[in-house]
């Protein structure tokens, strides 16, 4: 029986690329189910095409809505599909509503679940992603942890499923597509000079749905006076219009969402990254670029311990000061990238090899 990989959002589509590729190479029958949580071309199709991901067997077309709407609708639509097309395993990467709904629907119809990126924790239960990843971890049969710390978190919580340290699939895809950066013309397109700009992304609900937090962040970035490129998530764009935040004639250049290779290119040549994304913190790390995290905590604590990522929250003065620090001490911070806690680029191979043995062991019965 087939293994389904359930994805729905931009970062999950990126994570699916190396997993599905390895499944083809190693002969595991795996198909993608797209929930439709992300539906804009620039958040979904662009990545499927650029990363040569096989067309999903179905798009459940759930679209936007409240968390409960998304989770329940995905579960209902997935239940219908999985009942008609039984699977030996459902694999969910990450911590989104699509991942949670994928895991719950599978469990409820009796299909085992594997979680990719298991054990990530930020210890703030107010964030929807934290609750989501905890629930998924505790109901998964197989857990694939990206780092030692994630493994420790799973052990400390006594999760029931089998745990494996695999490394991070995002590092696999990062390595595979890094050499495409040389062919990408995004810098010319936006009039950017190498090492002369800062890269900003912002999309998390706790930041963009709170007018004072997003205003503070933007004010801090403006105060820094640095040239900033800001590929904007549609959610953030909508909120900025609602709150009357307009950035024409400022040091912040707002552009449409960029593709994966465009993002890697922006990362390669920036002085620093300002972000509230979990994925981009890691991609900045692998690009050996200092990161400033616009949150109150992070899952990727190793990057903080190494002194290459700074948590600044949303205080505008602190943000401006930290940007200045990162620009002035750039060479010194870059010398601190001395190890990589996220594996060796072989996470997807390990995941597929483990899945093959476990499915053979009778999980499908
Ligand atoms: C989701 C994940 C988040 C992840 C992020 C990556 C959840 C709860 N959140 O956040 O963990 O970091 O994806 O991007 O699963 N929208 C569009 N077009 C789209 C998709 C969304 O315009 O294709 C807008 C809609 O206004 C929508 C809003 O963005 O209401 C939020 O979208 P949603 O999928 O709920 O969450 P994200 O913010 O993308």
Instruction: Give residue-wise pLDDT tens across range 5-59.
Output: 999 999 999 999 999 999 999 999 999 999 999 999 999 999 999 999 999 999 9
CB 144 within 8 A of CB 118: yes
- CA–CA separation, 327 and 221 (whole Å): 13
- CA–CA separation, 224 and 200 (whole Å): 13
Instruction: Give residue-wise pLDDT tens across range 103-126.
Output: 999 999 999 999 999 999 999 999
- CA–CA separation, 115 and 91 (whole Å): 6
Q: Residue 23 C-alpha to ligand 1 middle, in angstroms? A: 28
Instruction: Give residue-wise pLDDT tens across range 251-288.
Output: 999 999 999 999 999 999 999 999 999 999 999 999 99
**254, containing H or E segment:** strand 252-255
- Is residue 365's pLDDT more than 50? no
Main-chain dihedrals φ then ψ at residue 115, nearest 5 degrees: -115, 120
- CA–CA separation, 57 and 248 (whole Å): 42
Q: Residue 360 — very low, low, confident or very high, per pLDDT cuts 50/70/90?
A: low
CB of 201 closer than 6 A to ligand 1?
A: no
CB of 238 closer than 6 A to ligand 1?
A: yes
CB 323 within 8 A of CB 303: no
Share of the chain above pLDDT 70, in %: 98
Give Cα 241 distance to the centre of its chain.
25
Helix (H, G, I), strand (E, B) or coil at 112: coil
Main-chain dihedrals φ then ψ at residue 48, nearest 5 degrees: -60, -45
- CA–CA separation, 175 and 194 (whole Å): 21
Please give the structure tokens belonging to residue 144: 């694939």
Q: Residue 361 — very low, low, confident or very high, per pLDDT cuts 50/70/90?
A: low
Instruction: Give residue-wise pLDDT tens across range 187-211.
Output: 999 999 999 999 999 999 999 999 9
- CA–CA separation, 253 and 138 (whole Å): 42
Which of 2, 265, 357, 236 is CA-nearest to residue 252? 236
Find the mean pLDDT for residues 353-360: 91
- Is residue 152's pLDDT more than 50? yes
Which of 107, 104, 94, 98 is CA-nearest to residue 33? 98
Pocket test for ligand 1, best of 6, 9, 41 (most atoms within 8 A of CB): 9
- CA–CA separation, 197 and 340 (whole Å): 25
Q: Residue 167 C-alpha to ligand 1 middle, in angstroms? A: 26
Helix (H, G, I), strand (E, B) or coil at 298: coil
Find the mean pLDDT for residues 214-223: 98
233 labelled catalytic: no
| pLDDT score at 175 | 98
| pLDDT score at 363 | 55
pTM: 0.96
CB 43 within 8 A of CB 11: no
Pocket test for ligand 1, best of 37, 47, 95, 294 (most atoms within 8 A of CB): 37
CB of 64 closer than 6 A to ligand 1?
A: yes
Q: Residue 38 C-alpha to ligand 1 middle, in angstroms? A: 6
Helix (H, G, I), strand (E, B) or coil at 163: strand
Find the mean pLDDT for residues 139-167: 98
Mean pLDDT across the chain, nearest whole number? 97
Q: Residue 34 C-alpha to ligand 1 middle, in angstroms? A: 14
- Is 268 buried (19+), middle (13-18) or exposed (0-12) by CB count in 10 A? middle
- Is residue 364's pLDDT more than 50? no
CA of 96, closest atom in ligand 1: 15
Instruction: Give residue-wise pLDDT tens across range 9-24.
Output: 999 999 999 999 999 9
Give Cα 27 distance to the centre of its chain.
26
Please give the structure tokens belonging to residue 130: 């934290």
CB of 9 closer than 6 A to ligand 1?
A: yes
Main-chain dihedrals φ then ψ at residue 247, nearest 5 degrees: -115, 15
């Amino acid at each position: 029986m087939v293994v389904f990989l359930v994805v729905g959002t931009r970062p999950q589509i990126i994570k699916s690329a190396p997993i599905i590729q390895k499944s083809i190479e190693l002969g595991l029958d795996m198909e993608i189910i797209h929930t439709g949580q992300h539906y804009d071309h620039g958040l979904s199709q662009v990545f499927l095409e650029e990363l040569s991901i096989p067309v999903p067997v179905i798009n459940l077309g759930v679209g936007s809505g409240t968390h409960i709407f998304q989770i329940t609708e995905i579960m209902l639509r997935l239940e219908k599909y999985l009942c008609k097309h039984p699977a030996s395993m459902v694999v969910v990467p990450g911590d989104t509503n699509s991942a949670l709904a994928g895991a719950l629907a599978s469990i409820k119809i009796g299909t085992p679940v594997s979680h990719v990126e298991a054990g990530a924790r930020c210890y703030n239960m107010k964030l929807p992603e934290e609750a989501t990843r905890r629930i998924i971890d505790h109901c998964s049969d197989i857990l694939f942890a990206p780092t030692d710390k994630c493994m420790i978190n799973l052990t400390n919580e006594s999760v029931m499923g089998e745990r494996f340290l695999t490394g991070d699939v995002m590092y696999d895809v990062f390595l595979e597509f890094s050499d495409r950066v040389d062919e990408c013309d995004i810098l010319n397109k936006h009039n950017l000079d190498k090492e002369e700009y800062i890269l900003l992304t912002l999309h998390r609900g706790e930041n963009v749905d709170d007018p004072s937090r997003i205003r503070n962040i933007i004010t801090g970035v403006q105060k820094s006076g640095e040239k900033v490129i800001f590929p904007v998530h549609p959610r953030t764009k909508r909120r900025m219009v609602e709150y009357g935040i307009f950035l024409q004639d400022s040091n912040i250049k707002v552009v449409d969402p960029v593709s994966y290779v465009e993002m890697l290119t922006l990362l390669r040549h920036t002085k620093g990254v300002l972000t509230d994304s979990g994925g981009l913190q890691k991609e900045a790390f692998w690009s050996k670029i200092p990161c400033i995290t616009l949150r109150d905590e992070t899952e990727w604590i190793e990057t903080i311990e190494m002194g290459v990522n700074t948590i600044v929250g949303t205080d505008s003065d602190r943000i401006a000061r930290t940007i200045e620090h990162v620009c002035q001490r750039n060479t010194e911070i870059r010398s601190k990238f001395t190890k990589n806690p996220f594996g060796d680029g072989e996470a997807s191979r390990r995941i597929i090899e483990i899945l093959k043995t476990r499915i053979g062991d009778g999980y499908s019965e």
